[in-house]
């Protein structure tokens, strides 16, 4: 008896889920199409900006040299062995 009473609500639930599934797939297609269009647009813009650029040349060729200073902080390093260490030959001349 409960099957007959619940059948209309089950049918309505299935209809609602099917409708939601269909609208979601349509929205996903529209989103992916918009994404592909944006990628194509960005690719065209970058291609136009880099038209004539030779990446084999360094920037500022012929200009003054750009000096770059960095600080390097060592947080750890491997094991140190006294027997494997190499010391430079230091010559003092007076």
**pLDDT at residue 69 tops 90:** yes
pLDDT surpasses 80 at 68: yes
91 or 77: which leads in pLDDT = 77
Q: Give CA–CA dist 28/54, Å, rounded.
A: 40
> pLDDT for 47-59, tens place per residue?
888 888 877 877 6
Please, what is the average pLDDT of the chain?
75
Q: What's the mean pLDDT in 69-76?
A: 92
Higher-pLDDT residue of 28 and 66 is 66
* Encoded tokens for 1: 């008896």
The DSSP-derived string for the chain is -HHHHHHHHHHHHHHHHHHHHHHHHHHHHHHHHHHHHHHHHHHHHHHHHTTT--TTSPTTTTSPPPP--------------TTT----------
* 86 contacts 92 by C-beta, under 8 angstroms: no
Judged on CB neighbours under 10 Å (0-12, 13-18, 19+), 90 is exposed
Least confident of 11-15, 23-27, 39-43: 23-27
């Amino acid at each position: 008896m409960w099957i007959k009473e619940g059948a209309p609500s089950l049918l309505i639930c299935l209809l609602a889920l099917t409708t939601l599934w269909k609208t979601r797939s349509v929205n996903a297609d529209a989103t992916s199409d918009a994404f592909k269009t944006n990628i194509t647009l960005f690719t065209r813009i970058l291609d136009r900006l880099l038209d004539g650029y030779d990446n084999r040349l360094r920037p500022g060729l012929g200009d003054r040299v750009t000096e770059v200073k960095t600080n390097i902080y060592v947080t750890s390093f491997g094991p140190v062995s006294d027997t494997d260490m190499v010391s430079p030959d230091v010559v003092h001349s007076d």
